[in-house]
Structure 1
Amino acid sequence: MARTRAPERTLLPSDEPLSLLRKDGTPVEDSPLVMPGDDVLVELHRRMVVGRRFDAQATALTKQGRLAVYPSSRGQEACEVGAVLALREQDWLFPTYRDSVALVTRGVDPAETLTLLQGGWHLGYDPYAHRVGPQCTPLATNSLHAVGFAHAARLKGEDTAALVLLGDGATSEGDTHEALNFAGVWRAPTVFLVQNNGYAISVPMSKQNAAPSLAHKGIGYGVPSVLVDGNDVAAVYAVVREALHAGGPTLIEAITYRIEAHTNADDANRYRDAAEVASWLDRDPVDRIESYLTARGLLDNARREAVAAEAEEFAARVRARLNTDVEPTPAELFEHVYAAKTANLRAQAAALREELA
């Protein structure tokens, strides 16, 4: 029997990124997107401010040697916060190594979030407690995890969607294409959010893709595609929220920018100039939502100061916890690798015990 498909949505993305707020914070009158409610907008702003301060603190901790590496997401807060707050409680998030702000926004303990980047546990938090998969370091492998999870949930009759975060470089990986193909065939409720921040480490978009946009990649897989202004948190929230309720796959390309270097081990001055960075600082996502909320009377000086103070307190707690030395336990290397230890794993554990003794 032929499988019945859901009604097709528009596959072709818009020519220009969809938005609700211009870079100066004024609203776009003719936008096809639905503006989130005032309470949602206020919360989006609060989470972005806290997230940015957390990101800055993590960067500082890396310089102090408390983290082995940290990939900053400064400038991409609208993508991470907007997308995560659009999730329903039952939905799952599949992040990358650059999405620590997304994890914190989802409610994951900040110290547990940074365990991977500290060089401790590969997964320092309980994924089931927050419905957050492991942070993915290999590019695009989380895309297949998300599609498999969403497909399984549909087979079980669950009303659950998966949001997978990707960078522009991940769209050049085979895993992303396989995931999009499976999602298109299975109509798996998966939202692919590509944070196009301009560079795959040092490789610019001009050397990665010849299509009009990354969003156009969805057409070949029968996956509806959306192009959105990734520095407009209201727009990101709106398109992700709509995609999560669509019942099938969606590919979203969010145009944003990575203000800091790829990681603390990267020298971004070797492949981009200061003028380019300055032009994107002028499109700051936090400033944009602040201008809109202020003009609407939803954000005054007292509220702004309160949010800033909350962000400082949050950073102080992160700093205090990460500045505490943890005595490593080498035997933990062999825990939680398999449900039951294999013979090779048992032999390796025994060899380590003898060496330590």
Structure 2
Amino acid sequence: MTVDSTAAARTPRKRTAAKKSAKKSPGAGTPDLVQLLSPEGERVENAAHAEYAAFVEDITAEELRGLYRDMVLTRRFDAEATSLQRQGELGLWASLLGQEAAQIGSGRATRDDDYVFPTYREHGVAWCRGVDPTNLLGMFRGVNNGGWDPNSNNFHLYTIVIGSQTLHATGYAMGVAKDGADSAVIAYFGDGASSQGDVAESFTFSAVYNAPVVFFCQNNQWAISEPTEKQTRVPLYQRAQGYGFPGVRVDGNDVLACLAVTKWALERARRGEGPTLVEAFTYRMGAHTTSDDPTKYRADEEREAWEAKDPILRLRTYLESQTDTDEGFFAELETESEALGLRVREAVRAMPDPDRMAIFENAYADGHSLVDEERAQFAAYQASFTDAEGGN
């Protein structure tokens, strides 16, 4: 592994004095931000948020350790994928570094019969849904078009087109309602996607048809190089009011708050009370993708401020101070983490190259003359290399 990705994958250690004094980010500590676990790893009591807190009131130490394990292993997998891309094993990678709490908290709030529509960064949600991490990498290596059966885990294939999955989720949720099922649908998207027309249409249709869908927006502050303040004049969660359904802003680095609020929103949907917009206020610690350089558009001080609110560190602090979790747990998890990295590395390198002609096979169900023509042209192009090698 490279040095930077190794550091990102390490299990967080004790908090330092320098990190404690880091400046707060916009929105932190405001009354409209649902927070149940502070950046210092302490439980937060707020009567205004009691309705959400009730959903994690009886959470056990073992369940908390499970959430911590989920976040650590997801971060380790993500770091390994980033390293593999830098080594030329993947064509591209979209890191979730810093967003583990938003994804694990919301992902663990879902039931098996709920259906999830992700973007291309929901590696933690995929983990919660039982999708093998190695299956996420085939598309980024260019060997398949997805890598898993969506119906096996009720987890749709990754969506690269920005915002379109919210329309898919809304239509699916409308179908769920017509079928009379008591399951719910959740759609993930980023703050940048919230500016897309597809998302606006999804809000309209879901509200009018009272669709059982939760829109989970991970506001990581940057739509590639475009900051949130250049996208909206009001907090994103407030947009829901204009469509006639609730919006909630949650501390996206607080796994307990994300778990609680998402459970609340999914229960609303299952009861037939319609859609909810959840804005997870978090931060993208890394680049938008491995083709991006965030140092070109944001300051180091901003990242340092958010490092003090690391979602894994705050839960570790709570586990160490308020539960019977000992160092043996963290040591075993470190070993498991390294084993996961090795398994992912070996699996990627063992992936067979795809049949280059297969790209033409699933464009049309009954075939098409233009596709046939393109297939023949591509076959001739490939053959030209074989002929050239034979002539040398």
Shorter-chain TM-score above 0.5: yes
SS of the residue aligned with 1:165? strand
What displacement does 1:339 show?
A: 4.0
What displacement does 1:169 show?
A: 0.3
Aligned partner of 1:196: which letter? N
Q: 1:109 aligns with which of 118, 129, 132?
A: 132
Whether 1:305 aligns to 2:328 is no
Deviations 1:126-180 (A, max 9, x none): 1111111121111100000100111111111222211111110011110000001
Aligned partner of 1:290: which letter? R
CA distance in 1, matches of 2:208, 2:347: 46
Report the equivalent of 1:139.
Answer: 162
What displacement does 1:298 show?
A: 4.0
CA distance in 1, matches of 2:237, 2:367: 43
Whether 1:274 aligns to 2:300 is yes
Report the equivalent of 1:256.
Answer: 282
SS of the residue aligned with 1:195? strand
Deviations 1:160-213 (A, max 9, x none): 2111111100111100000011111111111111101110001111111101x1
SS of the residue aligned with 1:245? helix
What displacement does 1:356 show?
A: 4.2
Between Structure 1 and Structure 2, how many residues are aligned?
A: 343
What displacement does 1:353 show?
A: 4.1
SS of the residue aligned with 1:246? helix
What displacement does 1:110 show?
A: 1.6
CA distance in 1, matches of 2:36, 2:368: 54
Aligned partner of 1:75: which letter? G
The answer on whether the counterparts of 2:143 and 2:353 sit within 8 Å (CA) in structure 1 is no
Aligned partner of 1:241: which letter? K
CA distance in 1, matches of 2:182, 2:358: 36
Report the equivalent of 1:221.
Answer: 243
What displacement does 1:15 show?
A: 4.4
- Mapping of residues 207-218 of structure 1, within 5 Å: 207-211=230-234, 213-218=235-240
CA distance in 1, matches of 2:382, 2:297: 46
CA distance in 2, matches of 1:89, 1:339: 31
Report the equivalent of 1:6.
Answer: none
CA distance in 1, matches of 2:267, 2:253: 22
Q: Which moved more, 1:33-42 or 1:294-303?
A: 33-42
The alpha-carbon distance between structure 1 residues 123 and 167, as it changes in their structure 2 partners (threshold 3 A), is same
Q: Which moved more, 1:19-28 or 1:97-106?
A: 97-106
CA distance in 2, matches of 1:19, 1:338: 49
Q: 1:164 aligns with which of 187, 200, 217?
A: 187
The answer on whether the counterparts of 1:79 and 1:236 sit within 8 Å (CA) in structure 2 is yes
Whether 1:322 aligns to 2:348 is yes
Question: TM-score, structure 2 length as denominator?
Answer: 0.84
Q: Which runs of 5+ in 2 are unaligned?
A: 1-29, 384-392
The alpha-carbon distance between structure 1 residues 188 and 263, as it changes in their structure 2 partners (threshold 3 A), is same
CA distance in 2, matches of 1:108, 1:50: 13
Report the RMSD for the aligned CA atoms in angstroms. Answer: 1.6
Whether 1:232 aligns to 2:254 is yes
Deviations 1:249-274 (A, max 9, x none): 11000100001111111111111111
Fraction of identical pairs, as percent: 38
CA distance in 2, matches of 1:75, 1:130: 25
CA distance in 1, matches of 2:363, 2:127: 25
The answer on whether the counterparts of 1:183 and 1:190 sit within 8 Å (CA) in structure 2 is yes
Report the equivalent of 1:22.
Answer: 38
The alpha-carbon distance between structure 1 residues 109 and 228, as it changes in their structure 2 partners (threshold 3 A), is same
What displacement does 1:343 show?
A: 4.1
What displacement does 1:117 show?
A: 1.4
SS of the residue aligned with 2:34? coil
Whether 1:98 aligns to 2:121 is yes
Q: Which runs of 5+ in 1 are unaligned?
A: 1-13
What displacement does 1:105 show?
A: 2.8
CA distance in 2, matches of 1:337, 1:229: 42
What displacement does 1:41 show?
A: 2.0
- Mapping of residues 114-129 of structure 1, within 5 Å: 114-129=137-152
Whether 1:181 aligns to 2:204 is yes
What displacement does 1:296 show?
A: 2.0
